[in-house]
Amino acid sequence: MSAEPVTETTTAEPRFAPRALQAVPEAPAEARILPAEALYGRLLATAAQHSLGDGPPHEGALRRADGRLDPLPLDRWLGPVDDADNEILERVERGPVLDIGCGPGRHVAALRAAGRASLGLDLSPVAVLITRGRGADAVLGSVFEDVPEAGRWGTALLLDGNIGIGGAPGALLMRARELLAPGGAVLVELDPPGTRTGRTRVRLEAPGVVSEWFAWAHVAADGVEAVAADAGLEAAWTLNAGERWFAALRRP
């Protein structure tokens, strides 16, 4: 995951219903506040060390604006791809693959092992380092800044909820469209049908430390077509695999 800034000129989302954000939970008085990417990197490094049999497990979680606290699935992200991952990766388009918000790189590592040209992109130096350690290629940076080979990617990946990056899926998908070659597709992971499509704010938490609040978003499988159309993309198909939902959004 990546806490991406989005400028005022890119956040107009006429089809998006923002959730009330006035009463977000306060941090405990004794908690230190760190930048989200710094805390994410610390938690990811702890989880990676633990997976190698060294040190305690991470205790990171994601706090939502409504107060709900969900464990961060870092162990799954650090592990190998599962059946649902494999099913979506088998559907990548011809040409090179860009994984936006690649995290510790399980998707680009699997693509590399399958002989597919791929590149991970992430704001976290720890995530990029782990991805490279898995034998995959990754670069440090923001999708909203300079990206290698812009306009030439056959597929862009927004998996593990990364369509929420920046809290403005329309802006994110428009940027992904710019990065694709004509006829390319964005493969996105979505929330189940019937759930809410909209913006929120979240923060990372661990014992004694929290991140600042940052913008995030959710897009339901039955709401993605309208969001994609606003970004100049066409919904080609949806897929339900392993209780997860995916869609392909094609650049005409």
- CA dihedral (204, 212, 199, 4) in degrees, to 10, reads -90
Percent of the chain with pLDDT over 70: 88
pTM above threshold 0.95: no
CA–CA separation, 50 and 125 (whole Å)? 18
- Report the pLDDT value the prediction gives residue 10, as an integer from 0 to 100: 38
Question: What average pLDDT does range 138-157 have in this prediction?
Answer: 97
- Report the pLDDT value the prediction gives residue 4, as an integer from 0 to 100: 59
pLDDT above 70 for 13: no
- Report the pLDDT value the prediction gives residue 59, as an integer from 0 to 100: 96
Helices 125-133 and 36-51 cross at an angle (nearest 10°) of 30
pLDDT above 50 for 105: yes
Confidence tier at 172 by pLDDT (50, 70, 90): very high
- Report the pLDDT value the prediction gives residue 31, as an integer from 0 to 100: 82
Tell me which DSSP letter residue 206 carries: E
The pLDDT tens digits for 120-129 are 999 999 999 9
Q: Domain ranges for the chain, please list them.
A: 31-250
Counting Cβ atoms within 10 Å, is residue 243 exposed (0-12), middle (13-18) or buried (19+)? exposed
| Least confident among 14-23, 47-56, 67-76 | 14-23
Question: What average pLDDT does range 42-52 have in this prediction?
Answer: 96
Mean model confidence pLDDT for the chain: 91
Give the fold, CATH level 3, of 31-250: Rossmann fold (3.40.50)
pLDDT above 70 for 24: no
